[in-house]
Structure 1
Amino acid sequence: MQTVSSSTPIAAPQEIAWEVMTDHALYARWTPASQVDLEVEGSPEPNGVGAIRVFRTGPVNTREEITAFEPPHRMAYRMLNLPLPVRNCRSELTLVADEGNESCRLHWDTWFETLVPFTGGILRPIMSSVVARMATGIAGEAERRARSA
């Protein structure tokens, strides 16, 4: 099992960061995907448990299913398909409010198994880069919203 972890400070209240982190429609702003759609709505909210989100990047579609949705603290998902030689890929995103709740921190942990032996050393940096880019995007959007509130 391979692991990728990151911790990103966000200069915005936890509730704003949660809204940004869980809104699939915003993801196309900071991911390689040109469009992110909801294939199946979740519960209790459209992006909640059971939601299936489709990331469209050129001819490649990547799908993920939300497996945990605990506002405004925790969301988890599992990848249904990925354009990399990995399986059993799952992630957990946790928001922790700083004192005073004027800012928070996004902890993002991803676990996956490689399909090709000895490729973890190559795939871990790729996955780490994707997670870092998305976490930075979430932080940036949340901070913009906080400034304009």
Structure 2
Amino acid sequence: MQIIENVQLPPEEMFARLADHENLGKALGVPVKRIRDGEGSVNGVGSVRTMAFWPLDFDETITAFDPPRRIEYSVSRGSPLRQHSAVILLSPRGAGTEVSWSVSFASAIPLAGRLLRMVMRLALTHGIRKLAANP
């Protein structure tokens, strides 16, 4: 699944907003807490954030962090999905930024996978727009 949104912020500003774990939680409307600092940056490679909202409780680990262009993460604990990972790419577009957020995962139940993709698409699109509108 891939989401592409164009926002009216420069890549550096949008990257900073996406990289901040607590800020991301506010935009997505779920509690997010950094439980381990990353290397070189608190939100960088090796950083772990936890998300806990009923009935889910899982961790995401940052696996690539290249300001202001790329963030990659994978679910490292607790997800009912297999091989759950994502890549966020930011590219300059005029005075703004194109945000490409690609998520992949495997689900043992095909219809559940489709439903989750729809829910994720809505949540991530809303989150990107909210982050772009509010600091």
Query: What TM-score do the two structures reach when normalised by structure 2?
Result: 0.87
Q: Which residue of 2 aligns with 1:94?
A: 89
Question: Gapped runs of 5+ residues in structure 2?
Answer: none
Q: Could you tell me how far apart the structure 1 residues matched to 2:111 and 2:33 are?
A: 34
Aligned CA distance change for structure 1 residues 126 and 59 (closer, same or farther; 3 Å): closer
Q: d(CA) in 1 for partners of 2:45 and 2:65?
A: 6
User: SS in structure 2 opposite 1:46?
Assistant: coil
Q: Secondary structure at the match of 2:46?
A: coil
Partners of 2:88 and 2:99 within 8 A in 1: yes
Alpha-carbon offset, residue 121 of structure 1: 2.8
Decide which structure has the larger Cα Rg and report it: 1
Alignment of 1:21-100 (within 5 A): 21-33=18-30, 35-57=31-53, 60-81=56-77, 85-99=80-94
Helix, strand or coil for the counterpart of 1:30? helix
TM-score by length of 1: 0.80
For structure 1, the 5+ residue unaligned runs are none
What is the match of residue 114 of structure 1?
107
Report the count of equivalent residues: 135
Per-residue CA deviation, residues 61-109 of structure 1 (Å, 9 max, x unaligned), is: 33100010001100010012466x421110000110123xx21110000
Measure the CA separation in 1 of the matches of 2:124 and 2:13: 19
Distance 2:70 2:29 in 1: 24
- How far did 1:118 drift? 4.7
CA contact (8 A) 1:37 1:54 kept: yes
Instruction: Assess if the C-alpha contact under 8 Å between 1:12 and 1:104 holds in 2.
Output: yes
